[in-house]
C-alpha cells in the first residue's frame, strides 16, 4: 500500500524546497510530482500537431518520495503514515502520531 497517493497534500521535508506544501499530481514509482514545488524551466520545441507553442515552459520536476510527508491539517504538520486493517477487512492509512485514519 502506498503511503502517498495522487491528490494528497504533502509537505517537503528536505532539499531546496523544504517547507513547501502542495498536492500530489502523480506518483511514479518512488518519485512524486507536487504542484508548484520543484519547478524547472524546460526548453520545448513547438508541436503543431499537439497545438503546443514552443519556448521556455516552467513545470514541476519529480521529488523522491522519502523527501515528502503527508500533511495533517488537524495538527498543521507533516506526519508519518502507517497502514492498518480495519475489522471489516479494509486496509487504511493512519497517522502514526495519533492513530487517526487518513482515508475516509
Residue 95 to residue 78: CA distance in whole angstroms = 10
The two counts, helices (H) then strands (E), for the chain are: 0, 10
CA 84, chain centre distance (Å): 21
pLDDT over 80 at 7, yes or no: yes
pLDDT, tens only, 58-83? 999 999 999 999 999 999 999 999 99
| Residue listed under C-alpha cell 503527508 | 70
pTM: 0.85
Query: Which pLDDT value is given to residue 24?
Result: 97
Average pLDDT over residues 75-99: 92
Q: How many CB atoms lie within 10 A of CB 2?
A: 12
Q: How confident is the model at residue 104 (pLDDT cuts 50, 70, 90)?
A: low
Q: How many CB atoms lie within 10 A of CB 81?
A: 19
Average pLDDT over residues 27-53: 95
Amino acid at each position: 500500500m502506498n503511503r502517498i497517493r495522487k491528490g494528497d497534500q504533502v509537505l517537503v521535508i528536505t532539499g531546496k524546497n523544504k517547507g513547501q506544501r502542495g498536492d500530489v499530481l502523480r506518483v511514479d514509482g518512488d518519485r512524486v510530482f507536487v504542484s508548484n514545488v520543484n519547478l524547472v524551466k524546460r526548453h520545448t520545441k513547438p508541436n503543431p500537431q499537439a497545438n503546443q507553442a514552443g519556448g521556455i515552459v516552467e513545470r514541476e520536476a519529480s521529488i523522491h518520495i522519502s523527501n515528502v510527508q503527508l500533511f495533517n491539517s488537524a495538527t498543521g504538520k507533516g506526519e508519518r503514515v502507517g497502514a492498518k486493517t480495519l475489522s471489516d477487512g479494509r486496509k487504511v492509512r493512519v497517522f502514526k502520531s495519533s492513530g487517526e485514519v487518513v482515508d475516509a
